[in-house]
Amino acid sequence: MPALRLFGRKWLAASDDLVFPGLFEIAVRAIWLILIVIVYIRYYDYTWECTKGGEYVRTYILGMMSLLAVVIVVLIALVNRSSQGSITEVEKRRHVPPILLLKVFLIIPETVLNVFGTMWAFCGDVVVCQQEHFSKTVIEALAIFNWALFGLAVFGLALIFDPLGSKRYHEVQETPGGGESLRHRKVTSIWQRRFRWAFCWLRSDEHGNEAFRQVAALLSDLFRSTDLVPSDILAGCILLRVKQKRETREMRRIQMLADDEPKYTCDINRVFAVAPRWMNLENARHFLRLSIAAYGWPFVMYRHCVTGICRLLGEITCCACFRSKTNMVIDDNCCLCHLAGVKYISKIRQEDILFASFRNHVFELPFCVIADHKTSSIVIAIRGSISLRDIFTDLSAASDRFEVPGFPPDTMAHKGMVEGANYVAKRLKEVGIVDKALALYPEYDLILTGHSLGAGVACLLALKIRPKYPDLKVYAFATPAGLLSREAARLTESFIFTVGVGDDFVMRLGVDSIENLRTSIMQVLHASCLPKYRVVLNGCGYALFGVPTGDLETTWRDDVGTTSSGRSPLLESRTIQTIAAATEAGLLSRDISQRRFSRIRLFTAGRILHIVSRKKTKAERKAGTGGPSYEMRWAVAEEFMELKVMPRMLLDHLPENVYKTLDTILREQRDDVSEII
């Protein structure tokens, strides 16, 4: 970074992004040059014996050898200059644009020569060589391969093409009707067109265009007024991993010196002594299974790729579409495969699945209503994200007013999940299934549950229907962070039980945390003393072997302050008149009033139980003994406002891993009790 300027426009690449592409091209062209040299040594003399067109073959071979040699020299210079300096030391790479320009212009003679070579090789009898030692097959192969190289070059340019690169919107003052506003509208429009083209099959959805608009606005706003390119984000995430591990090590050292009592504990009884009886891990594990069941047959196939079909066959209803229609199952396929998945995972009889809707559109989620006799509950299980439509529901993350009785009138919530909760509430009201179920089982409780997106929708749905069902409870798993305004989230702690595991990134995912991530990426890029190619290579090593202790200190510069102008070089250059409106301090501020997209900070709902892996003590490792695998504590929503780049950030979110964690804790607890007895 900053973005490379070439031909009077900006590209989605930086001057330090050319190391690996350059090395790849050097290797390919060097191999091809060696092969052409072999052809020259072996067959050049035979070209004099060609009855026709021998001079064309000699011109082509000598011309390609010369051009390849020149291109390789230019590429070596380009790689050398591109590898200089740290990510923000642009001055050390000032020679990259002219060298790259020379490299691009070399494509012209190469293309011209290849056009003639193609004509000579494939057009009639231009080249006639009768000798068995040489034929025009060689020149044909040379021409085809060079066109392949030309195609790769064009593909590379297409990848880094910036549709707004030729516009100088960043030089215009940011006013309500000024250039920055125009640029924002242009970027939003571009993202909307991309979504409509890539996901054209979503256009038929009622809310598809609204979701496209919301997500486009979010993406265009998040990196507005920055000059980051995609590779900067990759390098920034790698550097954040190093920074966060360094901070974690420092926190542990401080805690050891202060001899503070550990925050987490393995004593389950101690943790749940201050919680209502219904908040317990046994119930949580049971209702998590029902949440997973709402995923239907795709989850069975995901968990059992080879044997999944065999597992579902016993639950499938063949040719159900030709049988008498039922109002119990909506929008399933002809064999009721989704329902088969629900039955297989939940181990619940079909007659106890009172209602199931598998309609999946933007803002419209599948859900099931189950009579759970094991816990004497009527359970509404809402499915989490599993399709692209669900992803657009997740990413429609703007704050929307959410009015429910008994809550502050200014309550705000995640727009996509508000729409999802409205849809489920509307469906439940249309079929009246909850009232019928509670009338059939009057002594049963009403439970709402879900995982990920389903958890967020379940929480908001509970707020909507709680005035009618005041005793309902919610078991939410891996609930997204940007769900509900703070005061409303605090009021849900009495009836919502949220369970999160480890470094789950969704529990920290919200517009606010993404903006903080943007800020952190810019800061670590400025603080790093390593060139980008080293950062990327180190990242590959971190993924395989972890972050070595030495890198925690050697990655950073001694002087990590601002430049002489008081502004980070990661920010776009602006005119003097606009610096006051968008200084580095304003952009990097964590004050919510400085945000561009996230004006209202949203939090996780409910009382949050956070479970983490327990690190064994030296004595346990030396003795080879086990000990508890996990420890836990009650957390507050403010602790999940920062995204962490961790190895298990995705794995800890997966529902099967959350279930495995709860199951392991309960099994170890039973084993401990057995040993005592």
Question: Please, are residues 369 and 461 in contact by the beta-carbon 8 Å criterion?
Answer: no
Query: If 0-12 CB within 10 Å is exposed, 13-18 middle and 19+ buried, where does residue 607 land?
Result: buried
β-bridge pairing 399-401 and 412-414: antiparallel
Q: Percentage helix, strand, coil, to 5, in the chain?
A: 55, 10, 35
Question: Please, are residues 562 and 584 in contact by the beta-carbon 8 Å criterion?
Answer: yes
Question: Would you tell me how many other CB atoms lie within 10 Å of the CB of residue 154?
Answer: 11
Give me the pLDDT at residue 669, please. Answer: 87
Give me the pLDDT at residue 581, please. Answer: 34
Query: If 0-12 CB within 10 Å is exposed, 13-18 middle and 19+ buried, where does residue 324 land?
Result: exposed
Mean pLDDT of 26-52: 79
How far apart CA 64 and CA 59 sit, in angstroms, is 8
Mean pLDDT of 37-44: 78
Which alpha helices (DSSP H) does 413-548 contain, by range? 415-431, 433-440, 453-465, 486-491, 511-527, 532-545
b/e 18-42 (16+ beta carbons within 10 angstroms → b): bbebbeebbeebeebbeebeebbee
H or E segment and range at residue 413: strand 412-414
How far apart CA 448 and CA 377 sit, in angstroms, is 10
DSSP 548-590: -TTHHHHTB-S--S--TTSS-TTBPP--HHHHTTS-HHHHH--
The string of pLDDT tens digits covering residues 393-448 is 888 888 889 999 889 988 999 999 999 999 999 999 999 999 999 999 999 999 99
Give the whole-number percent of the chain exceeding pLDDT 90. 43
Give the 3-state secondary structure of residue 606: coil
What is the token pair recorded at 474?
């919610």
Give the 3-state secondary structure of residue 3: strand
- Does residue 204 have a pLDDT over 60? no
Residue with more model confidence, 50 or 91? 91
- The residue whose two tokens read 């199931």 is 356
Distances (CA, A) of 198 to 163, 202, 210, 445: 17, 9, 16, 44
Give me the pLDDT at residue 602, please. Answer: 92
CATH architecture of the domain with range 195-677:
3-Layer(aba) Sandwich (3.40)
CA angle 348, 350, 354 (to 5 degrees): 95
Distances (CA, A) of 263 to 160, 249, 612, 616: 47, 16, 11, 16
pLDDT band at residue 60 using 50, 70 and 90 as cut-offs: confident
Q: What is the pTM of this model?
A: 0.83
Give me the pLDDT at residue 589, please. Answer: 44
- Dihedrals φ, ψ of 498, to 5°? -105, 130
Give me the pLDDT at residue 12, please. Answer: 84
Give me the pLDDT at residue 596, please. Answer: 56
Question: Please, are residues 479 and 498 in contact by the beta-carbon 8 Å criterion?
Answer: yes
Distances (CA, A) of 677 to 434, 626, 664, 672, 674: 44, 19, 20, 9, 5
Mean pLDDT of 472-492: 94
Give me the pLDDT at residue 333, please. Answer: 82
Give me the pLDDT at residue 582, please. Answer: 39
Which of the residue ranges 1-5, 439-443, 564-568, 635-639 would you say has the lowest mean pLDDT? 564-568
- Does residue 670 have a pLDDT over 80? yes
Mean pLDDT of 250-264: 73
pLDDT band at residue 132 using 50, 70 and 90 as cut-offs: very low
Sign of the dihedral through C-alpha 172, 175, 178, 181: positive
Mean pLDDT of 361-378: 94
pLDDT band at residue 283 using 50, 70 and 90 as cut-offs: very high
How far apart CA 642 and CA 503 sit, in angstroms, is 11
Amino acid at 602: L
How far apart CA 166 and CA 316 sit, in angstroms, is 57
Q: Which of 91-95, 147-151, 168-172, 185-189 has the highest mean pLDDT?
A: 91-95
pLDDT band at residue 169 using 50, 70 and 90 as cut-offs: very low
How far apart CA 628 and CA 357 sit, in angstroms, is 40
Question: Please, are residues 495 and 455 in contact by the beta-carbon 8 Å criterion?
Answer: no
pLDDT band at residue 316 using 50, 70 and 90 as cut-offs: confident
Which of the residue ranges 141-150, 198-207, 295-304 would you say has the lowest mean pLDDT? 198-207
- Dihedrals φ, ψ of 573, to 5°? -65, 140
Mean pLDDT of 556-566: 55
- Does residue 264 have a pLDDT over 80? yes
Mean pLDDT of 276-298: 95
Domain extents in the chain: 3-159, 195-677
Give me the pLDDT at residue 574, please. Answer: 38
- Does residue 568 have a pLDDT over 60? no
- Does residue 167 have a pLDDT over 70? no
Residue with more model confidence, 50 or 144? 144
Distances (CA, A) of 19 to 73, 99, 133, 134, 531: 14, 13, 40, 38, 10
Question: Please, are residues 50 and 129 in contact by the beta-carbon 8 Å criterion?
Answer: yes
Q: What is the mean pLDDT of the chain?
A: 82
